[in-house]
Structure 1
Amino acid sequence: MKISQLALVYVIGIIGSIAFNPVAIAQSYPNKPIRIVIPNAPGGGTDVVARLLSESLQNELGQPIVIENKPGAGGAVAAADVAKSPADGYTLLMAAAGFVIAPAVLPKAGYDPIKDFTGVRQLAIVPLIIVTRSESKLENMNDLLELAKKDGDKVTFASFGNATPSHLAGEAINRLGKVKMTHVPYVGGPKALPDILAGNVTIGILDAVSTLPLVQQGKLKALAVTGPKRLPVLPNIPTLVESGIAFDAVGWHAVFVPIGTPAPIVNKLSAAFNKAIDQPKVIERIISGGSIPIEKAGTPSQWTAQYAKETKQWAEIAKSVNAKME
């Protein structure tokens, strides 16, 4: 082999070692705009959080943050798009808990939450609120269960769609409370509100974003919230567990990247989101919207393990009631 050929091989080897060096990858990332794909329309809870954090992320990472809304099929359209994107840290998915449910209720979701994604960070817990109209005689979950045992399927619960966390939480209440409330699905939480206020449905199990203002105005009565602890903005409203229903699964907002994204990039993104969310104005905005910010998050690998566990839990609930997304 000639000297020039040896030199070329040597140079190629050096370039290759740099290209696959984790430290070098982290140091050079990012060098172009980063796209965050949102699985719902502008104005939704996840979209609001993404835009709330985007300015800080842009300052921290030194590159433009492009928010792209891609609604459809309960979030599956957006998730499938990101799953097929290069695992280079330039395409992120910011999603809610429906992300881990859709594959269990959609035959052709186009992605697997566990096999196709790596978790970056959980941003906030998004509890659901069990509400009824203010004139209702129901005061707590015990009252609701007693009514459901008496009137059976005449007692109805509104959700924001078939096979959504809202629907599955209601089915969990049915199963654990040994009742058979009738499910009434709506396309989004706000669509259900007029019927709840009019008394056309007994209760609603809806997101805090749509219900909290009406609860605070006294137009709706909150009976309980989902999740492991009470909402800071509704400290007097018990959780389902405190109400005797052993169900503490909860919605959330979180960030994901395609599987195979280099660990140094995942860690760099996680650190950027840590700084973005650790600001008083951001924390205040998230809390005022009815969510609970995750200020001290674990590592990306810990979040990945946690959502993988939740994926299986939600799938079990969906299977038990044969839930299907329309």
Structure 2
Amino acid sequence: MMDGPRMIKPFFRCNTQGTAMPLSRRLLCVLPLLMACAVQAQDYPNKPIRIFVPFPAGGGTDVVARKLAEHLRQDLGQPVVVENKPGASGNIGADQVARSTPDGYTLLVTAAPFAIAPAMFKSLTFDPVKDFTPVAQLATVPLLLVTRTESPLNSVADIVAASRKAPDSLSYASFGNGSPPHLVGESMKLLTGTRMVHVPYKGGQAALPDILSGQIGFAIMDVVSMTPLVKAGRLKALAITGPQRAPSLPEVPTLSQAGVPFDTVGWHAMFGPAGMPATVTDRLNAAVAKAMATPDMRALIVNGGSIPVEPATSAAQWGRQFRSDVETWGKVARDSGATID
């Protein structure tokens, strides 16, 4: 067994000769730095905050982030600027935040593809779990299974029956390889023992002509873009993902209620770099919860087809849920063989 002094390795040097100092003197050197960090965290925020959205301007995540920023400016008393950093399925903006100083002044508001990234990108430059601090979940974002009004498919049971009768004859659309809709479709195949053909598009609007013409059997798309078409009678909704029905479409059953036990759902959420002080994280979590409870934020979420998080979750609760989502999506990707690079 090693003796006491040799078990303690030098971790800080502040003398000009470069030799290791006694532990007591080393602690005296480090203590002012720790105190300075603590004071800075207690004084948070005292300068502008930047929120990076890793998707183009005008999308669902961007709209939520910009409205949230308005409320945070009022609550935190500092400018809150939203910057779009799109590219690589959201990975470019996320990587920039991961490399930022963990002081609470550089944040990320992103969506569920962030949790899927480790399973889909072999060359990912960050780890969503190890390199980030979960701050708050803003809303859940369900996905909608839709088909053309004239389709003989009237339920998830019809999809399963048709796929079993003629494997690989039924196709489904998503908005891209590795997207949440793609993996929901793969989950359906795994859970029901069926074979269907995945056809990726660059969004719901790009897929719409093929859905309406019957070229595609059904689609799994975001509820925001599909709900108006369902309400207008151009499409019929067969199921919605997530643990609960959407307020905007209360008559549509969840995927689990329709017989496929899969309730992982998309979301909008806030993260910071790994190592953010707990006081800063909790301050941001409280500010976000206050903002998301306001009537205008609730209306923005519900009218967009998403679901408010009620009751608001703590940063720790959201962190546990996020890690569970990373594991769930990762398992689906591994079991199905889905990948991007």
Contact 1:129–1:225 (CA under 8 A) maintained in structure 2: yes
2:246 to 223, 231, 235: 231
| Counterparts of 1:262 and 1:27, CA distance in 2 | 10
Amino acid at match of 1:213: P
Please show how residues 1-326 of structure 1 align to structure 2 within 5 Å.
16=33, 18-21=35-38, 24-325=39-340
**Superposed displacement of residue 301, structure 1:** 1.3
Q: Retained in 1: the 8 A contact 2:64–2:300?
A: no
**Displacement, 1:71?**
1.1
Is the Cα contact below 8 Å between 1:277 and 1:295 reproduced in 2? no
Letter in 1 for 2:59: G
Q: Which runs of 5+ in 1 are unaligned?
A: 1-10
CA distance in 2, matches of 1:15, 1:153: 66
Structure 1 residue matching 2:124: 3-state secondary structure: coil
CA distance in 1, matches of 2:88, 2:269: 19
SS in 1 for 2:81: strand
Identity level (%): 50
Q: In the alignment, is the contact (CA less than 8 A) between 1:100 and 1:311 conserved in 2?
A: yes
Q: Secondary structure at the match of 1:223?
A: strand
Residue 133 of structure 1, CA deviation: 0.7
CA distance in 2, matches of 1:155, 1:284: 37
Equivalent residues of 2:41, 2:103 under 8 A apart:
no
Q: Which amino acid aligns with 2:257?
A: E
Task: Report how far residue 25 of structure 1 moved.
Answer: 3.0
Q: Deviations over 1:95-141 (max 9, x none)?
A: 11100111211111211011101110011000000000111121111
Does structure 2 conserve the Cα–Cα contact (< 8 Å) formed by 1:102 and 1:325?
no
Q: Is the 8 A contact 1:25 1:265 kept in 2?
A: no
Gaps of 5+ in 2: 1-27
The 1-side partners of 2:208 and 2:73 are apart by: 37
SS of match in other structure, 2:270: strand
Report the Cα offset of residue 250 of structure 1: 0.5
Letter in 2 for 1:48: V
Which secondary structure state, in structure 2, belongs to the residue aligned with residue 253 of structure 1? strand
State the AA in 2 paired with 1:20: C
Question: What is the alpha-carbon distance in structure 1 between the residues aligned to residue 187 and residue 201 of structure 2?
Answer: 18
SS of residue matched to 2:167: helix
Rounded to whole Å, the distance in 2 between the matches of 1:302 and 1:275 is 17
Distance in 1 (alpha carbons) for counterparts of 2:114 and 2:190? 23
Greater Cα shift, 26-35 or 98-107:
26-35
Q: Shift in Å at residue 218 of structure 1?
A: 0.8
Which one-letter code corresponds to 1:19 in the other structure? Answer: A
Which AA in structure 1 matches 2:138?
L
Show the counterpart of 2:12: none
CA distance in 1, matches of 2:228, 2:67: 20
Alpha-carbon distance in 2 for matches of 1:259, 1:212 = 37
What is the rounded CA distance, in whole Å, between the counterparts of 2:129 and 2:91 in structure 1?
Answer: 14
* Structure-2 change in CA distance of 1:101 and 1:13 (3 Å): closer
TM-score (norm 1): 0.93
Per the TM alignment, residue 85 of structure 1 is displaced from its structure 2 partner at its CA by: 0.7
Instruction: Work out the number of aligned pairs and report it.
Output: 314
TM-score for the superposition, normalised by structure 2: 0.89
Structure 2: how far apart are the matches of 1:17 and 1:249?
40
SS at match of 1:152: coil
In structure 1, what is the Cα distance between the partners aligned to 2:154 and 2:243? 21
